[in-house]
Amino acid sequence: MPRRGFVIQARTRWLLVGLALLFSLVLLMYLLECAPQTDGNGSLPGVVGESMGKEYYQALLQEQEEHYQNRATSLKRQIAQLKQELQEMSDKLKSLQEKKTPKVNGMNYQGTKEQTSNDLLEFLHSQIDKAEVSVGAKLPSEYGVIPFESFTSMKVFQLEMGLTRHPEEKPVRKDKRDELVEVIEAGLEVINNPDEEDGQDEDDGVGDRQLYSENDFIEGYYRTERDKGTQYELFYKKMDGMEYRHVTLFRPFGPLMKVKSETVDISRSIINVIVPLAGRTEAFAQFMQNFRDVCIHQDKRVHLTVVYFGQDGLSEVKSILESVARETDFHNYTLVSLNEEFNRGRGLDMGARAWEKGEVLMFFCDVDVYFTAEFLNSCRLNAEPGKKVFYPVVFSLYNPAIVYANQDIPPPVEQQLVHKKDSGFWRDFGFGMTCQYRTDFLTVGGFDLEVKGWGGEDVHLYRKYLHGELMVIRTPVPGLFHLWHEKHCADELTPEQYRMCIQSKAMNEASHSHLGMLVFREEIEAHLRKQAYRTNSEAAR
């Protein structure tokens, strides 16, 4: 029995071993079956079978690319679906808001919106009515005037300069360039597509009208009233025409709005240039050279009135006028002789009253002033009887002996006429050069003839216009220059006049930097001597 039991135990042990081996074999086969399959022909790069490896990776990349393309297509589809759902939700929300908006005076939401638009438009028009656009504002003094800044399609002429700004410059800031371009294009839109109120015939088609372009823009002015908005005066002209198109726009801190559009014909507008004079025959000869070139040869619509004080130099002035008349066949001039002490206001007043042919546009001028034909047209465009007087700001040139000190002699006058900081400045405190109609001058009472000697009479006349209802156009103009000449402040002047004369003399001499160089001349020369001494000492060693 024990032996039989031992045999059974041995069989059981071998059975268990066999089962364990069978289980291990099954497990090994399972692991082999679940292992990742590899291409028997594949090989790693750099070893044998490299061509087959490239095909494998190219296929793998193509598979990945198709996978991401499908993913991107799916995402785009989901985004489009979300956008559609968002739009549907927005429409539902807007519909609910409109239903909740109460009706006012029987109007729904659309009616309220239209009412708001009408109120806004009415407010913008009220801003234009308050601004000094069509009627002049009564101002207490010259300090209350808001001057214009003038511009062309390329440059801006500005009074406020400082360290970074210049009397003439291209609009550097992009917002300023965009503003001026927008304004010029808006003016063209008004001209090329006129309303019925602009006076154009309804039957005139586009083919019958002369269309204007940016090249026809001549000049413009703009100024900003801080509590109302910005006013723009724009002038356009065809190269072969004499008529100007004038457009007034206003931006009441909102969209540009048209105020006025008109056609201005200045072909028959005569200007009476009035020049008071005493002595200074050489300056008068130079003035007549400019007058000959601009007024006689180019403009041809000018009358000259010279009011001469005293007898000394009178014969020379007559000789100059007669010589110009013979050489150019020009006889539209008047010489008024006054045997008394020089008084500028008195001279201009006599020149205005010496005209006996009715209404005329007058330009009060000095013998030291140089002007261009473009300025004469600006004079005609910006003065209107009973409505506007023109007070241009002159560009006053500095002493050429200081400006061109590094040259042997100063260049000719024509080459000095540049708008630069070191060459001159806008004479914003001077009101002597002005264009106004004779009837307006006589209506306000002309000059205060009680003012004696230098200065003051032009300011008094300027204030008379400011106290009235005429518009005063005050702006720098590029075609008007005041040539430098030495000033003498007489002892007979009142303290106020003498102070004004000295201030004017100092401001007309040179720029800030040039005056500084003159003040520190001794320090500069001492520095140069020290530098020369050091250089010579080092060279001698």
pLDDT band, very low/low/confident/very high, at 108 (cuts 50, 70, 90): very low
pLDDT band, very low/low/confident/very high, at 17 (cuts 50, 70, 90): low
The confidence score (pLDDT) of residue 367 equals 96
**Tell me: the pLDDT tens digits for 155-179?**
999 887 666 678 888 887 888 889 9
Within 10 angstroms of residue 103's Cβ, the number of other Cβ atoms is 10
The confidence score (pLDDT) of residue 2 equals 44
Q: What is residue 214's DSSP assignment?
A: G
The confidence score (pLDDT) of residue 5 equals 46
Tokens of 451: 């003012």
Mean pLDDT of 344-371: 95
Mean pLDDT of 501-530: 82
pLDDT band, very low/low/confident/very high, at 40 (cuts 50, 70, 90): very low
Q: Which domains does the chain have, with CATH numbers?
A: 142-193+213-263 (no CATH), 271-516 (3.90.550.10)
Alpha-helical regions (H) of 244-343: 281-291, 314-328
Mean pLDDT of 29-34: 57
11's enclosing H/E stretch is: helix 2-34
Return the bridge partners of 245, or none. Answer: 236, 263
Mean pLDDT of 412-416: 90
- For residues 458 and 431, is the Cβ–Cβ distance under 8 A? yes
Has residue 64 got a pLDDT over 80? Answer: no
25-29, 337-341, 397-401, 480-484: the lowest-pLDDT one: 25-29
| Collapsed DSSP state (helix, strand, coil) of residue 397 | strand
218's enclosing H/E stretch is: strand 217-225
**Tell me: the pLDDT tens digits for 477-504?**
999 999 998 878 888 888 888 888 888 7
| pLDDT, averaged across the chain | 82
Has residue 455 got a pLDDT over 70? Answer: no
- Distance in angstroms (rounded) separating the CA atoms of residues 49 and 57: 13
Residues contacting 269, CB < 8 A, separation 6+: 301, 361, 380
Has residue 61 got a pLDDT over 80? Answer: no
